[in-house]
Structure 1
Amino acid sequence: MASTAFLSTDRHRHLAPLRACSSTAPRVASTADAPVAAAVPGPDAGREGARESVARSLVALASVGHHVFRDPRPPRDRRHHAALVLVGPGGVFLLDVAEDLQVEGDQVLHGDRDVTDDVLALADVAYRAEGELVEVGLAPGEVRPVVVVTDARGVDRRIGPVRLVGEADLLRHVASYGSRLPAVEVELVLARLREMLPDLVPVVLELPEVPTPHDGRTHPSTLDVDEALVAGAAARPVESWMAVLDPAQAALVRRSFNGPCRIRGGAGTGKTLVGLHRAAYLARSRPGTVLVTSLVQTLPDVLRHQLAALAPDVADRVQLVCVQEWARRLLAARGVRVAVDESIARIAFDDAFAALAPDNPLHVPDCGPGYWRVEISKVIKGRGITDLAGYLDIARTGRRYPMSRDQRAALWELYRAYERRLGALGVHDADDLVLMAADELRRRPLDVPYSAVIVDEVQDLTAAGVRLLHGLVGDVRDGLTLIGDVQQAVYPGGWTLADVGVSVAGRGVVLTTNYRNTAQILDLAHRVVAGDEVTDLDGGVVSGERPEQVRRNGAEPVLERCGSRREQHVAMIARARTVARDAGTAGVAVLCATNGAAVHAADALRAAGLSVLLLTDYDGTQVAAVKVGTIKRAKGLEFSHVLLPDVCAELLERGDPPAGAADRERWELQRRELHSAITRARDGLWLGVA
């Protein structure tokens, strides 16, 4: 344990120079770099007076649980450290004090002198502090470097990870973060800081005085302490799980990988939360925009809402959008016509299949038209296969029916007939979006590349989709982060990392502790998929596994057997009313296997007088309504109580799998989907068993 770890002169290794925004090279400093103290020009006496003025102002926040410390060393003796440290419910603020700074574009000037690098040195201090404080689970984004511009009001600028704030605005700036850390976490941070920096001196807790200008000038205005505290009280509270992580998770957020990396783990292990924190961290530490994407349409909307609370300082530099919508926007921006209509596309496929001769090899008892339509979607289009030779030779990962070469040739002809019908109708299917976007990017890459791409629920994307996203950043350091768990795949078919040209050798991390579910809920989820085998992204075979550690206990899931849909809806409504009365409707969700079943459930709940919000309209905002939607729409989300109507009894029983290969594939897929639905529940689970 280094007692002065973040006083080192080491620079933030992932902080790119602001004047080289097209580069992702790390910022490297020599030992000759000016110390942080140089970021504050002026006589030492004046700077010390400014520091004392700011310190006296900050103690006003003691009434809401903040603690203020100063470093006793004079400015000329300080190397890379903060003049003041503020710790409290709003996080950790590392502050230095400056005067007469001007910001022009991405430069900070003091008179004619460019002091940008001196200001950014405070980011290096914060980086070192982050590394120490992750040991107590503090999320890296909760350490905030701030340069206070003395005798100024209305200053609020960001230079890389560093905020420049006017002295008269400082209290309101700190208070605007509201309450993010629980008292127990504040105490852990304070204890760790005392170990790291035993020389820090607490500022005496006294009533704040009106700051006296250290140079005798008239202060622009007094700090409105009451206004700042009121603003802090009104700030939207941030749930502690956003700001406080497991130390292993907090360290993973900051971890650097020399190329693409993969984060995997069972349901409830915090993969999505780590990905969101990592997006904010990368947005702070490098220029450019970070893309966070997923196949799930609802997830980016919910994450966008969470990011606005978790990291408002970089929310404008993280783009959250599902893969297909991203492709649609690209094509629209490039003037490429696209007309996706899945209902017409289905008719086109059905017509093409109906035109097959009676003796066609695709007419087999085990596989109906739906199986072959998925084959085209997930294997031919999903892999981006462009000729019969490529299809004949490819390994059909995730598909159990063993196709002969004659069947593959016949399927290829069916695919071509389907494509001709789509062309004649002037429509595309959803898979065409990704393929057309990839073609467009090959023709002309993005004018402004992304600095990083984070893919959540990666196991549900097609190989073509992952290949497209990988192409946006390539194999640069920390460019691509893949997050997911193949045991939660809810779409047929599959692929391996080798298929998409991505290597994560030596750059894979497994999260093994479940923080979301109770042990009782997780036991049921595990029983559903226990023993089922699925091909992992690395090509190996994994079976249903339970996380190594489960942190919570609770009530046993309720399984209610019903003889009819009406009986089941009556039981579902009674359960929804019970849990809503105990915990409120905002955390209750009803998840169904199909859109039709979700519509029926929503209608039944509304008829019973309950407020309903469809997952298609859900963006993460806490609304007093029961959320209703499909299991696929709920991927990556979580709710206090989950109700699952229309659960097939056979999926809960450990019986022999179906004999037919295609039937077994569907059976395993349904079990994984049920497993995913069960693990959306934090505290309570109800299953209506048909």
Structure 2
Amino acid sequence: MPTITMMKSKKIDGSLKKKVFDMLTKITEDDTTPGLHVEPVKNAVDPRVRTARVDINHRAILFKETVEDDTHYIYVGTWPHDDAYVEASRKRLQVNPINGVLEVLNEAPLPPEPKTSPESPFTPPKEGTPKSPGNPEPPTAPAFVNPIGSAGHTVKSLYDELGLDRRVTSAALAARSEAELDAAAEDAPAWQQDALLGLRAGMSVDDIKDELQLGTVPEEERNLSEGERFKKSFDQPATKMQFTYVGEDAEALKDIIENSSFDAWRTFLHPSQQRYVDKHWKGPFRLSGGAGTGKTVVVLHRARALARANPEARVVVTTYTNGLADSLDAQLRLLDPDLPRAAHLGGPGVYVRGIDSLGAQVVKAASPAELTSAGLAVLGSSDVRLQNRTDGREQWDEALTVTTHALDPALANPTFLRDEYEAIVLANSITTKAEYLKISRAGRGTALSRARRVDVWNVVEAFRTICRRQVTASFAEVDALAAAILNSRIGPGIADHVVVDEAQDFNAGHWLLLRAAAAPGQDDLFIAEDSHQRIYGQRIPLSRFGIKIVGRSRRLTLNYRTTAENLHYAVGILSGDSYLDIEDLSESTTDYRSLRSGPVPVVKHGKSFADELDAAAEAIKRWRGASEKATIGILSRSKYQASRIVEGLNEHGIRSRTSATTASKNSNDQQIPLVMTMHGAKGMEFSHVILIGVGANSIPQASILNSLADAERQDMLQRERSLLYVAASRARDELLVTYSGDPSEFLK
């Protein structure tokens, strides 16, 4: 019976999904069935190409390959009847002779060669070179320098070293604008598009080979039969980013078609992602990358791979909030409905919860003796009775009121005290004044004299007393207690593997808990984070918690979410500051790149907030008129602004919603604009985004900066800058930014 491979392609129209499934199912049963009309195409560049009837108006394009005497079909896509024949006639399936990657090429006459020989490095036009009269450049525009040619690459070198199609590279080297470079790669196979994008970004050939995991076909394999080479091509990571083998599995075929996932993260992983899913490390590993680079995708596939490799393994997946954890859990169920699931924390299978929820569960399940011991070790008290948890702000305010101290306003501040408590006191299990006076405060920024340390400690003691009286503890305290409980036990912790997403916002209590959750060893901790998206916690180097990742840290740089224009704008917001990662090393954004292009983000200035709402309403109506499937996110700095936006849009006749959970997947509610805060939008994405109220008085918020010491103020400013970056990077296709009055300093 014939088998099927699906190629990554455009999504199947909803009305055709069942028809495509029926057609492919019938092919696996008997490809000679008359009603299928599986037919070769006249004058096609590849004699193996076929078209098959989907319905009277549509035909599918497939390649028929023979592998070890068995018939195999590669489904390429479905087109309108006449278009299908045109497309099929120019498509050619091949195993790349240089690197062994399976690819479908679109054959066309070679474009004109560059004026310089393609065997020689491209030379950009000299100053004063006449421009084409049919396409003159504005007199003020800088001369375009082709980044691929100017780096010394040639058609021959790019074919010999990478296997890039000569037609594609010839067009790329001849390009005289960014638009022409985009057009050159438009019809290229996915891996070739990625390679060209890397070349444009200044990556070396070796770096591109490493990212795409491209090798060279061994000499002994060059004489293999076509079918044998086809079979071996599926060992190549770059093949798997565009093709997935289905075989005769009707359920797998249906799942791919019904969910349109053959162009999505569930089915195809980029080689740079796949390597971090599969690889094993002798200790903690950190994966960083900007917004939209696919860290969460890797987290999900990594958890799945660990559980599949050993169904008895205890795999804990965690993240910063319960909301984000719920999203991970839903996506994991979508990725693999049959994945082994743990019935409880510490049981075999995958267990998904927010990090604070994990800490609370450990404390709740602890014995009285364990609680007493942990209380003495963490809080200096055996009285650990917890009825609830708190963010601590009210308790810090009260502690400052009831304590006699000489702290100036910058230190007598709940934000400073909370950060000091978590980063120094809890992180080092300090329970006495003597211990606090001796401990190093390296990295805290704000210096404290001995007298001021005494004052701070007195406030800390008052805070702890108040919490005991209220039968509560801060979230960080509960996590630190949980870590102490786990460390006191003999055994391998509550997990064999912990996979973490959004780790940049974790505090000291979280890191203590993570280190205690899994015993040090192979694949114990997998940490995904982006220091540029830190909008909550303070940055604390992992080495302080016994989490050593030196030499086990990598970065993703290819953006899958947003257009190059939106990416450039969002990254530009970060340019006014320098960032350190959780290894205390400088974090760069210079090599982030996107495969997609689109409109340049629009920034509109209004005289009033009403003007901003007018601009937003006009954009929403235009976007919805252009596409019924547009998903629109409207983000503000505060809840107060969000409520004004909802009211204002309503006055414009635009219905909006304020919760992502209010939309039914089976209704048009998904297309109702969603109004939320920038903080709330973390982890989400929309086709279109409007950032409203990005003025000098809104972001950064003056109220949260008042009375902070210089070091804390700079850290808070960086978090506010990161918040705007997070918000801007939620947009896939189009971004509108509005403000009234003076613009935010982050827009300048």
Report TM bin, short chain.
Answer: 0.5 to 0.7
Displacement of 1:482 in angstroms is: 0.9
Provide closer, same or farther for how the CA distance between residues 329 and 385 of structure 1 changes in structure 2, counting only shifts above 3 A. Answer: same
What does 1:112-127 align with in structure 2 at a 5 Å threshold?
A: none
Displacement of 1:435 in angstroms is: 1.9
What does 1:658-673 align with in structure 2 at a 5 Å threshold?
A: 660-673=710-723
Displacement of 1:484 in angstroms is: 0.8
Q: How far does the alpha carbon of each residue in 1:75-111 deviate from its partner, in whole angstroms, 9 at most, with x for none?
A: xxxxxxxx99786589xxxxxxxxxxxxxxxxxxxxx
Structure 1 gaps, min length 5:
1-53, 74-82, 91-131, 138-181, 204-224
Structure 2 counterpart of 1:319: 351
Which residue type is aligned with residue 690 of structure 2?
Answer: L
Provide closer, same or farther for how the CA distance between residues 398 and 249 of structure 1 changes in structure 2, counting only shifts above 3 A. Answer: same
Structure 1 counterpart of 2:139: none
Displacement of 1:454 in angstroms is: 1.0
Q: Is 1:280 the counterpart of 2:304 in the alignment?
A: yes
Q: Is the 8 A contact 1:517 1:679 kept in 2?
A: yes
- The equivalent position to 1:625 in structure 2, one of 672, 682, 687, is 672
Partner SS state of residue 441, structure 1: helix
Which residue type is aligned with residue 640 of structure 1?
Answer: S
Partner SS state of residue 559, structure 1: strand
Which residue type is aligned with residue 264 of structure 2?
Answer: W
Provide closer, same or farther for how the CA distance between residues 497 and 367 of structure 1 changes in structure 2, counting only shifts above 3 A. Answer: same
Displacement of 1:481 in angstroms is: 0.7
What does 1:117-156 align with in structure 2 at a 5 Å threshold?
A: none
Partner SS state of residue 300, structure 1: helix
Provide closer, same or farther for how the CA distance between residues 346 and 385 of structure 1 changes in structure 2, counting only shifts above 3 A. Answer: same
Q: Structure with the greater relative contact order (CA < 8 A, sep ≥ 6): 1 or 2?
A: 1
Following the alignment from structure 1 to structure 2, what is the Cα–Cα distance between the partners of residues 266 and 241?
19
Following the alignment from structure 2 to structure 1, what is the Cα–Cα distance between the partners of residues 299 and 665?
17
Following the alignment from structure 1 to structure 2, what is the Cα–Cα distance between the partners of residues 268 and 497?
24
Structure 2 counterpart of 1:572: 616
Provide closer, same or farther for how the CA distance between residues 228 and 630 of structure 1 changes in structure 2, counting only shifts above 3 A. Answer: closer
Q: How far does the alpha carbon of each residue in 1:407-453 deviate from its partner, in whole angstroms, 9 at most, with x for none?
A: 23322211110111111112222223312322332344788843321
Provide closer, same or farther for how the CA distance between residues 577 and 490 of structure 1 changes in structure 2, counting only shifts above 3 A. Answer: same
Q: Is the 8 A contact 1:486 1:537 kept in 2?
A: yes
What does 1:404-419 align with in structure 2 at a 5 Å threshold?
A: 404-419=449-464
- The equivalent position to 2:590 in structure 1, one of 536, 546, 566, is 546
Displacement of 1:572 in angstroms is: 3.2
Following the alignment from structure 2 to structure 1, what is the Cα–Cα distance between the partners of residues 192 and 713?
56
Partner SS state of residue 282, structure 2: coil
Structure 1 counterpart of 2:147: none
Which residue type is aligned with residue 725 of structure 2?
Answer: H
Following the alignment from structure 1 to structure 2, what is the Cα–Cα distance between the partners of residues 87 and 390?
68
Following the alignment from structure 1 to structure 2, what is the Cα–Cα distance between the partners of residues 201 and 673?
49
TM-score by length of 2: 0.59
What does 1:605-624 align with in structure 2 at a 5 Å threshold?
A: 605=649, 608-615=653-660, 623-624=670-671
Q: Is the 8 A contact 1:532 1:543 kept in 2?
A: no
Provide closer, same or farther for how the CA distance between residues 642 and 400 of structure 1 changes in structure 2, counting only shifts above 3 A. Answer: farther
Following the alignment from structure 2 to structure 1, what is the Cα–Cα distance between the partners of residues 461 and 675?
38
Which residue type is aligned with residue 254 of structure 1?
Answer: D
Identity within the alignment, %: 26
Following the alignment from structure 1 to structure 2, what is the Cα–Cα distance between the partners of residues 268 and 230?
28
Q: Is 1:435 the counterpart of 2:460 in the alignment?
A: no
Structure 1 counterpart of 2:726: 676
Structure 1 counterpart of 2:692: 645
Q: Is 1:635 the counterpart of 2:659 in the alignment?
A: no
Following the alignment from structure 1 to structure 2, what is the Cα–Cα distance between the partners of residues 134 and 261?
30
Provide closer, same or farther for how the CA distance between residues 309 and 382 of structure 1 changes in structure 2, counting only shifts above 3 A. Answer: same
Structure 1 counterpart of 2:318: 293
Structure 2 counterpart of 1:211: none
Q: Is the 8 A contact 2:285 2:527 kept in 1?
A: yes
Which residue type is aligned with residue 237 of structure 1?
Answer: S
Q: How far does the alpha carbon of each residue in 1:30-59 deviate from its partner, in whole angstroms, 9 at most, with x for none?
A: xxxxxxxxxxxxxxxxxxxxxxxx996475
Of 322-331 and 606-615, more deviation after overlay is shown by 606-615
Displacement of 1:578 in angstroms is: 3.2
- The equivalent position to 1:487 in structure 2, one of 516, 532, 543, is 532
Q: Is the 8 A contact 1:454 1:481 kept in 2?
A: yes
Q: Is the 8 A contact 2:496 2:519 kept in 1?
A: no
Structure 2 counterpart of 1:463: 508
Partner SS state of residue 692, structure 2: strand
- The equivalent position to 1:349 in structure 2, one of 396, 399, 403, is 396
Structure 2 counterpart of 1:329: 361
- The equivalent position to 2:580 in structure 1, one of 523, 532, 535, is 535
Provide closer, same or farther for how the CA distance between residues 313 and 471 of structure 1 changes in structure 2, counting only shifts above 3 A. Answer: same
- The equivalent position to 1:251 in structure 2, one of 275, 292, 305, is 275
Structure 1 counterpart of 2:335: 310
TM-score by length of 1: 0.63
Which residue type is aligned with residue 280 of structure 1?
Answer: R
What does 1:19-58 align with in structure 2 at a 5 Å threshold?
A: 57=29
Q: Is the 8 A contact 2:410 2:709 kept in 1?
A: no
What does 1:376-415 align with in structure 2 at a 5 Å threshold?
A: 376-381=421-426, 384-392=429-437, 396=441, 399-415=444-460
Displacement of 1:368 in angstroms is: 3.6
Structure 2 counterpart of 1:101: none
Partner SS state of residue 554, structure 2: strand
Q: Is the 8 A contact 1:487 1:544 kept in 2?
A: no
Displacement of 1:262 in angstroms is: 1.0
